[in-house]
Amino acid sequence: MRLAGKKALITGAARGIGLGCAKLMADHGCDVVITDIDVAEADRVAQQVSSHPAIELDVTSKLAWSAAIERAGDLMNGVNVLVNNAGIIIPGTVESLDEAGWDHTMNVDLKSVYLGCQAALPVLSRNAPASIINIASISSMIASANFAAYNAAKAGVHMLTKSVALHAARAYTDVRCNSVHPAFVDTDMVDQVTKTDDREVNRSKLARQIPLGRIATVDDVAWAVVYLASNESSFMTGSELKLDGGISTM
């Protein structure tokens, strides 16, 4: 089992990429704790993939993070993998997006990663080898006029990952931090960036932008997370995995 002995806390795990990561990690022997702000849905997922109850987690709250890390550590007898997956997207240009939308995006997409890493590092260090995996986006590297806040937040995650990796390498032993950068992924979130209600038409239009001719599946991302959580990536830190079907090469 690739993840035997791994104990992971996953944020935003009630649906989408987080759910896919939880399922695949559990399939490969990882002990997982499901967290989400939607605790009812998180509980439903936890019953499928975990032997532990879900934890309600508002990723924008420092106190909530401290409680979640402590609780997950109690449930699993330690934590040695953190997957910072929770995220939102609020479309808008620098002129059309209001301040509330900007602040909410920054809090959920960027501040949450800062708070999660800060809360988890001491626990991870006591359970090393340990890995932090931050779900960023190819939007951290490729800009869009209509994703002003999302571009900025995910670019922040990209650089924060590198800063955390350097800090962890100096302050602790065998604690790594890397980021994953998907392009369009077949989840409900992708519907927020399309202009029609026809899911197949939307996905076909997005796929035509990708050199490989399709959008990513949730499993495409989850396999990358399994790799980064495993000892197979033990010499990898401060790096980014681009899962973009080649779009960033254009």
pLDDT at 250: 87
Q: Which long-range contacts (CB under 8 A, 24 or more apart) does 186-191 make?
A: 186/215, 186/216, 186/217, 186/218, 187/15, 187/16, 187/17, 187/218, 188/15, 188/16, 189/16, 189/87, 189/88, 189/89, 190/215
> Which residue type, as a one-letter code, is found at position 24?
L
Residue 53, preceding peptide bond in cis (omega within 30° of 0): no
Q: Is the pLDDT of residue 116 over 90?
A: yes
In a domain, 193, yes or no: no
Q: Is the pLDDT of residue 195 over 70?
A: no
Identify which of 44, 61, 62 has the alpha carbon closest to the alpha carbon of residue 53: 44
The whole-number average pLDDT for the span 121-132 is 99
For residue 45, the domain's CATH number is 3.40.50.720
pLDDT at 196: 64
In a domain, 91, yes or no: yes
In a domain, 87, yes or no: yes
Q: What is the pLDDT of residues 143-168, one digit of tens each?
A: 999 999 999 999 999 999 999 999 99
In a domain, 247, yes or no: no
Q: What is the residue whose two structure tokens read 């987080």?
A: 18
Q: In the structure encoding, which two tokens stand for residue 155, read together?
A: 């670019």
Mean pLDDT, the chain, as a whole number? 97
Q: Is the pLDDT of residue 193 over 90?
A: no
Q: Is the pLDDT of residue 27 over 80?
A: yes
pLDDT at 84: 99
pLDDT at 234: 99
Task: Kindly state the helix (H) or strand (E) to which residue 180 belongs, with its residue range.
Answer: strand 175-182
In a domain, 244, yes or no: no
Question: Which structural domain, as residue segments, surrounds residue 85?
Answer: 7-187+217-239
pLDDT at 203: 85
Q: What is the pLDDT of residues 205-238, one digit of tens each?
A: 889 999 999 999 999 999 999 999 999 999 999 9
The better pLDDT of the pair 99, 201 is held by: 99
Q: What is the pLDDT of residues 47-93, one digit of tens each?
A: 999 999 999 999 999 999 999 999 999 999 999 999 999 999 999 99
Q: Is the pLDDT of residue 44 over 80?
A: yes
In a domain, 208, yes or no: no
Distance CA 148, CA 160 (A): 18
Q: Is the pLDDT of residue 190 over 90?
A: no
Distance CA 245, CA 182 (A): 9
pLDDT at 204: 86
pLDDT at 242: 98
Active site residue 150: yes
DSSP-based three-state secondary structure for 131: strand
Q: Which of 114, 150, 172, 227 is catalytic?
A: 150
Question: How many structural domains comprise the chain?
Answer: 1
In a domain, 29, yes or no: yes
In a domain, 207, yes or no: no
